[in-house]
Structure 1
Amino acid sequence: MPATLKDPSTAMLYPAMNDTKWDEVRLAMYALQPRPAYAVLSTNGHRSGWDREWFYHFRTEPYATILYVDIRTDDPAQHERVRAALRQVHVPGEETPEGFRVFGYLYAGQAADYLKQFRCSVPTTKPW
């Protein structure tokens, strides 16, 4: 376990995702070509190896055990496609040097932004 990671068994964790949101992430990443790699850190401290099979492998463990998922992108174009997909799904996460991290749980006092789709709306009438 990395030195900066709190021990999940003794830390106060708050859920940031549910099964529906994890399925939305899974299907969004499955739809991308090429598919990005991912690694899961579970609440028991186990970190999976890197995998690219999102449809079956990603859901082999219960979603409720996912502390976070790291998503690794291979190049700038894939990075932008993954960013767009995660923003569309609207999940709590952050960009990392390798790609993205999507949080399943947050520690007490931990802040996280949502990766979201930004929309610019132009008013059709003048406000005055």
Structure 2
Amino acid sequence: MSYREYNGLMNNTKWQEIRISMDNYPGTVLWRIKNIDNGLLSNWNSEWFNHFQLREYNKIQWLEIKVTSEEMKNEIIHILRKIHVPGEVLDDSIKVYGYIKNGFIDYI
């Protein structure tokens, strides 16, 4: 795997802002990440304060946040827009990209 094939989009500050915001969200928010080094996909996790903080932010190819209702989806989109992160809104989740291979990804 060569990082030269990828464009980096995030920094530690942005990942920390997401971590703090999701930890402060009033409901349970599940997340998983894909590691850019080895392609491994983590299990779904709901512990943002310690577990997400333990991840090496520079290894996150993408973060997927599971949403269980339209209300939750709209609230999390609002939070992520304030942080201004690159990503996409899917049917039952939201992806935030740390790296993309080629092309363009819009901001949420």
TM-score w.r.t. the length of structure 2 is: 0.92
Q: 1:21 aligns with which of 14, 17, 21?
A: 14
In the alignment, structure 1 segments of 5+ residues that lack a partner are: 1-8, 116-128
Amino acid aligned to 1:79: K
Number of aligned residue pairs: give it.
106
Q: 2:23 aligns with which of 23, 26, 30?
A: 30
Could you tell me which amino acid in structure 2 is paired with residue 18 of structure 1?
Answer: N
Deviation at 1:10, TM superposition (A): 4.7
Identity %: 30
Q: Which runs of 4+ in 1 moved over 4 A?
A: none
User: C-alpha deviations, 1:26-51, integer Å up to 9, x for none?
Assistant: 11111111032111000110100001
Considering only aligned residues, what root-mean-square deviation do their CA atoms show, in Å?
A: 1.2
Q: Name the SS for the 2:104 alignment partner.
A: coil
- The structure with the largest helix share of the pair is 2
- Map of 1:1-128 to 2, 5 A cutoff? 9-10=1-2, 12-43=5-36, 44-108=38-102, 110-115=103-108
Q: Distance in 1 between matches of 2:85 and 2:40?
A: 22
Q: Deviations over 1:68-96 (max 9, x none)?
A: 00110111111111111001110000001
* Structure showing greater relative contact order (alpha-carbon pairs closer than 8 Å, 6 or more residues apart): 2
Q: Distance in 1 between matches of 2:59 and 2:104?
A: 20
> Higher Cα Rg: structure 1 or 2?
1
- Distance (whole Å) between structure 2 residues aligned to residue 75 and residue 28 of structure 1: 18
